[in-house]
Amino acid sequence: MASHFNETCDVLVLGSGAAGLTASATAALAGLRVILLEKAAHVGGATAWSGGWVWLPGDGDTTDAARYLTGFEGIDPAVAQSFADVAPKLLGFLENHTRVRFQDAVSLPDYEPGIPGYLPHGRSRVVAPLDGRGLGRELRRLRCPLPQLTLAGLMPSAGTEMRHFVSAGRSLRSMAHVARRLAAHGLERLFHGRAVRLTNGTALAGGLFQAALDAGVCIRTDQSVQALVRKNGRVSGVRLADREIVATRGVILATGGFSANPVLRRQYYPHVAREAAHHTMAPIDNAGDGVRLAQAIGAVIADRPAGAGAWVPVSLIPGRELRPFPHFADRAKPGLIAVRRNGRRFVNEAAPYFEFMAGLFAATPDGEDVEAWLICDHRFQRRYGLGFSKPFPLPVGPYVRSGYLRRAPTLERLATDCGVDPEGFKAAVDEFNAGAVRGEDPAFGRGETPVNRAQGDPSQMPNPCVAPILTPPFYAVRVVPGCLGSFAGLKTDPHARVLDRDDAPIPGLYACGSDMASIMGGHYPAGGISLGPALVFGHIAGHAAANIA
């Protein structure tokens, strides 16, 4: 290798999602020379495809937040306290050094009200829209939103705007808002080739991308790292195909975890080991590069027995290739149930997606496909949509003709078309409807918790999550296991330092984001529990590499 291909920096960051961009901006603002290498052609990683929710305690909340986290079995108290202590500082960093802001009055409750430290108004914040023109020519390097979550490339902002899009067929005010947004988006596509008003995860990635650039970070895409370089026991850089990059202060791994790696999924996802289908919502680039590089020099993966991935039910959109669609909020709307092959319900459908999948895993016998059917009537589909199928005024026919939706004039026929036991299905619907006419769900308590109600329809009284299934034709969509990312990851300490087999820090090596094992111990205490720690431990890793307490 010719020496003139080598170069030197202070800190080298691998990966350009929320964790990597935060780590690089933090280190650069501390006066260090920082290079960020991204394997993909675009910046933003899985963050740019996310909903942009982050779970972050604020000032005065660190004790209660840590108490809430440590109420879940298997969460390391020291790591939880480190997260809670640094989260308010991270919020100050975002305020002072980035254009990332959060929407006022848009939040989600914590998920478990019985645990000390729980907040009914929650600590989950969603990123406010951002004008992408601040990135200038660099906007073209920012990853666009996930196509199946957009309308012709337009991603509605979470909160009020999303409600306008869902209500456009029932409200003139909402229809006018949607028309204005679509018109503005059309002009953005015409003049810029993409959405310029960035929302949700794309706004978070865009704001952090601009902050890193403004801080002087050298960001390179299409870069594939072959190995970590270790000298005298310390990680001193990386080796690429044509050169080495020396990092005098350290290397920070933030490559996005391994949810797109079939070998590691089989090893750490129990249902995949049992031959169940699995579809990740993360980019194909999130293939475990950081884990692989670190394992080669003695690092270890910390498993998360409560859940090695951020499970979510997905339906599959037909096309040249099947594309997964995540079912986040439709399951909580009134007038829907989920059944397995035996026709019976198995879970509170309005529960957070991780809990929904835990219920499905537990209810599926060995040897049987891990799948369920979401069932609704015509009123529900036209009012809320079902999965990828959109509500009125968009037509439902194309989704039926493509095979994405099953439609039938009777519930009995729908059960037959879905391969579901018709007797069990009829009994399940009759039992649900008997309580639903009163707004009750005696079997599973649907709509009884704040997080259930937050995702429901407040206009449905007395229970925003419960209504009977009555109006033909009836619809169904098949859901199977998916994930938003991996929870199993590299074992680290409260300072984001990667640990070896003896739990000793590997000098010069740090990890954050999904490359580090989830601090939540495989649990899902609230919305945004992946991105919140990604930001905080990216900030911690950047400071640790700069030797700043």
DSSP 237: E
- Domains in the chain, start-ordered, CATH in brackets? 3-155+195-254+487-545 (3.50.50.60), 310-483 (3.90.700.10)
Q: Is 198 helix (H, G, I), strand (E, B) or coil?
A: strand
Q: What predicted TM-score, i.e. pTM, was given to this entire model?
A: 0.96
Instruction: Compute φ and ψ for 211, nearest 5 degrees.
Output: -65, -40
Q: What is the pLDDT of residue 267?
A: 95
DSSP state string for 21-52 = HHHHHHHHHTT--EEEE-SSSSB-GGGGGS--
Block mean pLDDT (10 aa), the chain, length 549? 70 98 98 98 98 96 97 95 98 98 89 95 94 96 95 89 88 91 92 94 98 98 97 96 95 98 95 93 97 97 88 96 95 98 98 97 95 98 97 95 98 97 96 98 96 94 97 98 97 97 97 97 95 98 85
Q: How many CA atoms lie within 13 A of 4 on its CB side?
A: 0
DSSP 440: -
Q: What is the pLDDT of residue 548?
A: 64
Please enumerate in sequence order all residues whose Cβ is within 8 A of that of 334, keeping only pairs 6 or more positions apart, or say none: 380, 436, 447, 456, 457, 460, 463, 464, 465, 466, 467
Exposure string (b/e) for 261-296, b if CB count within 10 Å is 16 or more?
beebbeebbebbeeebebbbbbbebbbbbbbbbbee
Cα(44)–Cα(534) distance, integer angstroms: 13
Q: What is the pLDDT of residue 2?
A: 41
Q: What is the pLDDT of residue 522?
A: 93
Tokens 């619907």 sit at which residue? 429
Cα(422)–Cα(180) distance, integer angstroms: 46
The rounded Cα 526 to chain-centroid distance in angstroms is: 12
Cβ–Cβ < 8 Å for 427, 343: yes
